[in-house]
Amino acid sequence: MFRGFGRASEPAGLARRLGQQGDWRALWGMVLSQPLPLAVASLAHLNRRKWSPPSESDAALADVLAGIDAKEAARLGGRLFDRTAQVLPFRLGFANPVGFAVRHPVAALSVQGRDFHTQRIVTVDRTGVRNTLYEGAAQHWSLCAIDSETVIARREFDSGGYRGDTEVVEYTPGGETVLANGGALLDAIVQPTATGFVVGTKLAAFAFALADGEQVQLNLGEFGLRRADLFAVDATGTRIAFADDTRMVVTDSRLQPLYDIVAEHLQHGGINAITFTEDSIVTAGWDKGLYRWQIIGGRIRGLHPGWDSSPRRFFRLSPVAPWNLLVADGGNVNYHYDVTSLDPVTAPGFLVPSGSSEKDDDLAVPRAIGKFVSTAYGRLAVYEGGLAARTRDSVSDFYSTVVQDLEHPLNVLNKPVAALTGADAERLLPQAGAYPLDAGERALLESLVRACEWAPGANGH
């Protein structure tokens, strides 16, 4: 079955061939696997007089899709990048971190300052830069935003090759406050939570958190972990999953342990990257591969061994729930997966560089080169502008930073029809009220709400 939403010419040709062959079952499966602009175009090749819908829901969904103007859907789908993204004149370096907030649609970025020897810490939202909170000689290695005026960061200064001068600092418009320092914080990671923030150390298996103004800590060594810097925060900011080798511990935002597991025979090997999705935890291993976990019946249970789907070791996993996408960073190339099934899928067109190959030589995994960062709790995605084909017309655009607004209702145009749910319908129109949409965009979203009622992922259909 066709998966994903790549260049329009490819699925259009496949849909035409399936229609000519009268393979209505495969063609309908292709329709379901595509986002709405491509699904509507593919449906035009399905002879509904000869097709026997698998269910009443499928027939009703086909009626909704048939009522959408294919040219208008394609036009709006082609505008998605322009309508949902902001291109900023910053260049993201390989090491420059990006951090997000739990409660607010803002991100914190470490970007180059006025020369190569200085860095700036800025906060951005869907409209652009909100605040510049720091400019100086410090090198920042991890950061997160509490809101548009508060950033927590781990930084170091050049001490002649000695890496002992490490600090966790809070930046605000009023200045900076050093919260902690010392060699034990080398390579520590900071992330926000619903009650404050958490710091996980690498040199010792200790995690520290500020939760509702109170400092708390947890010795993860008591659970067999040797490090605390490999962790993820869930979409609500209320749960934290720490991992090391084949062990995992889930706590609340106050570092109170909730669940733990030792998985001795993980096919992907020891855990190398971890993220929450909307309803699961996904890990990547040292021996290559992906694995999906869920908390069921008070236990962490492994559900999906996707170990054979990845061609290399992944160092970061970035979920994008509105696109039903998981972006896996392979070091110098990104790979794209269905966030639920972990099947390889094609990336949105604006994430694929112009003229690049969309196919991996061995596993036909679509890919795009460049830094891409998002989290389960973040409401933005941040990535290098060179990924976006429409920004490659100039040097300044190529070396830019894209901030993608994941709360924009038009993001649903990147989601496969089969993945639409009742939750999408519930949030689409309220979200639409917060954005200046034209009549065509509003009409399309209304059709999408009706499609959500009958889509396979909605209401148990």
Is residue 64 situated within a structural domain?
Answer: yes
CA–CA separation, 314 and 328 (whole Å): 6
Q: What is the pLDDT of residue 329?
A: 92
Mean pLDDT of 66-95: 85
Q: Residue 17 CA to chain centroid, in angstroms?
A: 34
- Per residue in 147-194, pLDDT (tens digit) is 999 999 999 987 666 666 799 999 999 999 999 998 889 999 999 999
Average pLDDT over residues 348-369: 57
* Domain annotation covers residue 290: yes
148 inside domain:
no
Question: What 3-state DSSP class applies to 42?
Answer: helix
Question: What are the tens digits of pLDDT across the range 430-442?
Answer: 888 889 999 999 9
Q: Are residues 358 and 290 in the same domain?
A: yes
- Position 19 in a domain: yes
Mean pLDDT of 329-351: 87
- Nearest-angstrom CA–CA distance, 316 and 74: 32
Give the model confidence (pLDDT) of 135-152 as tens digits: 999 999 999 999 999 999
| 297 and 361 assigned to the same domain | yes
398 located within any domain: no
Burial call 220-238: b when 16+ CB within 10 Å, e when fewer: beebebebbbbbbbbbebb
Q: Which helix (H) or strand (E) holds 65?
A: helix 56-66
pLDDT at 98 over 50: yes
Tally of CB atoms within 10 A around 176: 18
Cβ proximity of 405 and 434 under 8 Å: no
Assess if residue 352 is contained within a domain.
Answer: yes
Tokens linked to 20:
């000519």
Q: How many domains does the chain have?
A: 2
* Crossing angle for the helix pair 24-33 and 9-21, to the nearest 10 degrees: 160
Residue with tokens 């889930």: 250
The reply to whether 270 and 358 lie within a common domain is yes
- Answer yes or no: do 282 and 336 share one domain: yes
> What is the distance between the alpha carbons of residues 124 and 145, in angstroms, rounded to a whole number?
10
How far is the C-alpha of 422 from the C-alpha of 443, rounded, in Å?
A: 18
Q: Taking phi first (over 0 means left), then psi (-120 to 50 degrees means alpha), and beta for anything else, what does residue 328 get? A: beta
Q: Are residues 322 and 418 in the same domain?
A: no
pLDDT given for residue 361 in this prediction: 41
Residues 371 and 283 in one domain: yes
Domain with 414 in it: 9-80+408-454
- CA dist 64 to 57, 86, 413, 446, Å? 11, 32, 15, 10
The answer on pLDDT for 392 being more than 60 is no
Residue 101 lies in a domain: no
